[in-house]
A and B are shown apart, each in its own frame.
Chain A
Amino acid sequence: MTLELFLQHFANGISLGSLYALIAIGYTMVYGILRLINFAHGDIFMMATYFAFFGVLTFNMPWYISFIVAIILTGLLGIGVEKAAYRPLRNSPKISILISAIGVSYLLENLSIVLFDGRPKPFPTPNIFADVINIGNISIQRLTFIIPVVTIILLFLLLFLVNNTKSGMAMRAVSKDQETAQLMGVDVNSTISFTFGIGSMLAAIGGLMWALKFPQIQPLMGVMPGLKCFIAAVIGGIGNIKGAVIGGFLLGIGEILLVAFLPSLSGYRDAFAFILLILILLFKPTGIMGEKIAEKV
């Protein structure tokens, strides 16, 4: 394998990995606060792409306005899902909320099949994202540079929000002990709503980036990315935001390099991701960044 070829593969890996990282952040943040694996995350991500799609094509909004509207709507959707499906079960065993999350996931999938039709739709990609940059023989889509930047900016914003603001302090308090936090005057309900809103908006940004890179949307598009990002979050240590970013990059680059070096196994890349999940759960269930328990959230 030439250096050039390797660099091209590496660029592909970074591009895919940063997408995983972006979506895994939202996943892991919700888990950090609520100890709830939000299996509907991938479907919320799908809904965001449809919001943006209809914003551009039905309401003729410019793409940037449509994207902002889609992100806000998705945030509201996340808050709504939390109110309707998770809040009533807050004092039930964790497994009930988990099952409720799976229910929400199926509901969103099937609802969008009914509402938006099961046929895939082309997602409009503005040229500024789609342009290709050539460095020597290596071709890289401009989006490949944008996604990691967005991921890193969001990572720092989120870390700032969690560590340096009042709402962040409330989130950390709720993640440690809901009852005590409530006794100390923290409004648990609104803190959790806020967390879900932020988590869903992160899913929305991830979804929009995903749809720009793979310009085709359909109701079941969130299933595989949702699972992959769950794996990324577990690799990084679920609940740990920086870990999710690292996990996302590792998974993305790992998948690409697997196909690059062992082309005959290219049909097994999903299997590779799941095997990685099993290995992590067997040998290091806390993930890469899992030890620093104080850092959770």
Chain B
Amino acid sequence: MKKIATLLAIILTISTLFAGCSKKEQQTSSSNSNSDVIKIGVFEPMTGANAAGGALEIEGIKLANELYPEVLGKKVELVLVDNKSDKVEAANAAARLTQKEKVTVILGSWGSSLSMAAGDIVRKAQIPAIGTSCTNPLVTKGNDYYFRVCFIDPFQGTVMANYAYSKLGAKKAAIVQEVSNDYAVGLAKFFTDSFKELTGDPNCIVAVSNYNTGDQDFSAQLTNIKSANPDVIFAPGNFTESALLIKQARQLGIKAPFIGGDTWETPEFVTIGKEAVEGATFSTFFTSEKPITKESEKFLEAFRKKYNHEPAAVAALGYDAYILALDAIKRAGTTDSVKVRDEIAKTKDFEGAAGKISLDENGDAVKNAVIKTVKEGKFTYLDTIEPKK
């Protein structure tokens, strides 16, 4: 009996070995035949705290892939990986795209921290990455392989400080920042610098409070802020936490307006915050109410047809990152990632859905900012701000 069992075990082991072999053969043959496919990696949070943001960008990228499915006569295949809204997972996900999937270009991510986690990996692998809505300057700084189709936070911080000072007439501001998020901390700093300059008062920031990604209770921070009595509260951070934060602020009887950054523009911000987020104002990249280029019109029409709702700004950026990548591959005439990188770096006056893209020496797009507010449960366009020349 025992002998039979041993024999069986050996046979099973050997057969699995063979199974492994045949699988490998299949894979190599398929990758040979797959050489007429160009792989583009999509590096986005699909689960975790930033999942809603990632989902919006993927909507834009998938739409672009449907409208422009081919380049150099080859089919473009999107390889989606989930960076799980987590810096460690983001590094793993980027490694998978560069080493296992061997993609030509990487698109993403929503969230600067996640993009920064991938920075070193794409640079070492020499595979260019095009950031969608990661706005922290450090994403592209000192990294020749990271680019982006959005503006950066020094500009965004100035825009919101200007808005608070001139439109809201605020003299005192409080800051609540998501301290574990590079994006929020960076943006808060640029806002602070700019607001101090505008008011000429070094003590114009009356309170600074921190919270962590995933926190749900902000009552203590908000009670402190209430006692400092600011005219406006700048609260850059993830949309779920921000929605809960504003909700709890209203419950504590804080009446000051809340202003923030581009991360707020997700449906969850409104569905979770409900009436509490009415009047919350933030800067973002694009509005469907004012198409900028021919590509915007094409994008809007196709988007509304496919998804039956209005696109978020980041969906347009996802779309732009994809068409820019395709254009660079076309200009390079090859899928060699280093040559594609050089072409991306040369991008000038490229017509994207969210405006014309010209990349500066750091690989950052110089673009207009749009200010939106929540009105009757919808994101509503307020103003467009041009970058300083």
Contacts and interface: CB of A to CB of B under 8 A. Distances in A.
Interface string B214-248: 11110111011011000000000000100110010
Interface stretch (A113-121, A161-169, A236-244): A113-121
Interface string A120-135: 1110000000101010
Nearest to B225: A263
A126 to B, nearest CB: 13
A226 interface: no
Contacts of A141: 251
Contacts of B190: none
A107 to B, nearest CB: 15
A134 B47 contact: no
A132 B224 contact: no
A139 to B, nearest CB: 4
Given A139-B252, A219-B47, A267-B210, A122 B220 contact: no
13 contacts: A118-B48, A119-B51, A120-B268, A137-B253, A139-B253, A141-B251, A214-B216, A214-B244, A219-B47, A220-B214, A221-B216, A266-B210, A266-B221
Contact of B251 (A132, A258, A264): A132
Nearest to B45: A118
B208 A263 contact: yes
B52 A120 contact: yes
B338 interface: no
A121 B251 CA distance: 20
A176 interface: no
Interface residues of A, number: 41
B220 A266 contact: yes
B108 to A, nearest CB: 16
A113 B220 contact: no
Given A214-B244, A267-B210, A260 B223 contact: yes
Given A263-B208, A266-B211, A267-B212, A119 B52 contact: yes
A276 to B, nearest CB: 16
Given A119-B51, A120-B52, 6 more contacts: A8-B223, A9-B220, A122-B271, A216-B240, A255-B220, A267-B180
Contacts of A215: 244, 247, 272
A16 interface: yes
B271 A220 contact: no
Contact of A15 (B207, B212, B219, B247): B219
B272 A12 contact: no
Contact of B211 (A220, A221, A256, A267): A267
Contacts of A187: none
B186 to A, nearest CB: 15
A198 B208 CA distance: 43
Contacts of B219: 9, 12, 15-16, 256
Contacts of A16: 217, 219
Nearest to A214: B216
Given A5-B223, A263-B224, A266-B211, A118 B217 contact: no
B209 interface: yes
A5 B274 CA distance: 27
A263 B218 CA distance: 12
Nearest to A217: B272
A224 interface: yes
Contact of A216 (B48, B211, B224, B244): B244
B224 A134 contact: no
Contacts of B79: none
B47 to A, nearest CB: 3
B209 A118 contact: no
Contacts of A120: 49, 51-52, 240, 268, 272
Interface string B30-47: 000000000000000011
